Amino acid sequence: MPVPSFVPARLGPTRAGRPRRARIALPLAAATVLGATASLSAAQPAHAAVTITVAKSGGQYTSVQAAVNAVPDNSSTAYTISIGAGTYSEVVRIPAAKLHLTLLGATGNAADVVIQASNYAGETNPATGSAYGTLGSATVTVAARDFTAEYITFSNAFNKNYHPGVTGTQAVALAMQGDRQVYKHDKFWGHQDTLLSWSNTASTDIRQYVYGSTVDGDVDFIFGNGTLVIDRSTINVENDGVYSSGALVAPATYGSQAYGILITGCNVASSLAANSVYLGRAWVPYSGAVPQAVIRNTLLPAAINVSAPWTGISGATWTPGRYGEYGNSGAGATVNGNRPQLSGTAAANYTAQKYLAGNDGWNPVV
């Protein structure tokens, strides 16, 4: 398949001292491994489930990737990979053909089951001789449709503080590239660009639902062009020691898509200084991007920039984007001319169910 001309990246500082985005090529190997998602729409519902075990000792496999590889491609049978306690230091790629797959932390506590790597965008991939790029830096990439993960920690341990002078410091913990994905009671840990929802084309709609989970990061750490809902979760805006401010979301929604990123019923926490954190930064990496995000019924800390919570990236302004708030509370919540508010009638069209319904009525909402 043709290699897309870009994937998200932010290289080097802006005048304000925060990183900016640039375009870089998606490595051919990544495109080949993950495969296309468009052909999955005709996949049949799963039937009797099969469980595969991963454990440091005593399981069928000792690595998550080995267990993923053992799952038959394009199967109508649901497979669960039950992962025992421990830190699995590996990069995991789940291709589009691994349908109806669940990763399950066997202990029922995400802190016990950690998948971790530390690649970053500017680092040279020894397999290709080129930089990983933002997408390639991901610890876990899931291109499969109808995927579920429960009680798992997805971690990218790269820390800018220990790599002074490097560029391309984006380091993704989880890249979500498939439709109808569900994440429950998980943890997503990183610094810059923790959680990515990314579709390679405007015509390929992808939807992901995150519930009862924890997302940690500092700069644009919930980002991308897919439809992503974060529901009743905790979002921690960290102080990485390099940048004095951060941003929760960086949507790059296609203008043809009604829905981008929704944060609903969440608790946002931060120890950063008052008025130093943006709700979001408009990201326009290609023609046709009209960023869309709504934050509603969410507790916002004093760290949120109360007077001007939305801004742009690399010279882009936020105002052409589609943003809204509704029913937020806390020291970081207020109403002013820089904070578009939804009416009660409009808010009814910006719920988790509305974001995720698509053309098939999908409703994973708990």
Q: Look at residue 240 and tell me if it is in a domain.
A: yes
Both tokens of 187, joined, read 């943890």
Among 13-17, 206-210, 216-220, name the most confident range.
206-210
Residue entry with tokens 């876990």 = 140
Mean per-residue pLDDT, 220-239: 96
Question: Tens of pLDDT along 169-213?
Answer: 999 999 999 999 999 999 999 999 999 999 988 888 999 999 999
**135: containing domain:** 7-161+168-357
- pLDDT on residue 22: 42
Q: Look at residue 366 and tell me if it is in a domain.
A: no
Q: Look at residue 122 and tell me if it is in a domain.
A: yes
- pLDDT band of residue 5 (cuts 50, 70, 90) is very low
Look up residue 219 and give its amino acid. Answer: V
Based on the residue annotation, tell me whether 179 is a catalytic residue of this protein: no
- pLDDT on residue 325: 98
- pLDDT on residue 313: 86
Beta bridge partners of 54: 61, 83
Question: Tens of pLDDT along 322-359?
Answer: 999 999 999 999 999 999 999 999 999 999 999 999 99
DSSP string of 165-227, one letter each residue? T-S-----SEEE-SSSEEEES-EEE-SBS-EEE--SSTT---EEEEES-EEEESBS-EEESSE
The CATH number given to whatever domain includes residue 107 is: 2.160.20.10
Q: Look at residue 255 and tell me if it is in a domain.
A: yes
**Domains held by the chain: number:** 1
* pLDDT, the chain, mean: 88
CA–chain centroid gap for 256, Å, is 20
Stretch among 41-50, 161-170, 243-252, 302-311 having the lowest mean pLDDT? 41-50
Both tokens of 151, joined, read 């009680």
Q: Look at residue 264 and tell me if it is in a domain.
A: yes
- pLDDT band of residue 243 (cuts 50, 70, 90) is low
- pLDDT on residue 44: 47
- pLDDT on residue 241: 66
The one catalytic residue among 146, 220, 231, 240 = 220
Look up residue 358 and give its amino acid. Answer: G
- pLDDT on residue 245: 67
pLDDT at residue 166 greater than cutoff 80? yes
Q: Look at residue 364 and tell me if it is in a domain.
A: no
Question: Tens of pLDDT along 16-70?
Answer: 344 444 433 334 334 434 544 333 333 444 467 999 999 999 999 999 999 999 9
DSSP string of 254-305, one letter each residue? BTT-S--EEEES-EEEE-SPTT-EEEEEE---STTB--EEEEES-B--TTB-
Q: Look at residue 293 and tell me if it is in a domain.
A: yes
Q: Look at residue 314 and tell me if it is in a domain.
A: yes
- pLDDT on residue 244: 56
Helix (H, G, I), strand (E, B) or coil at 294: strand
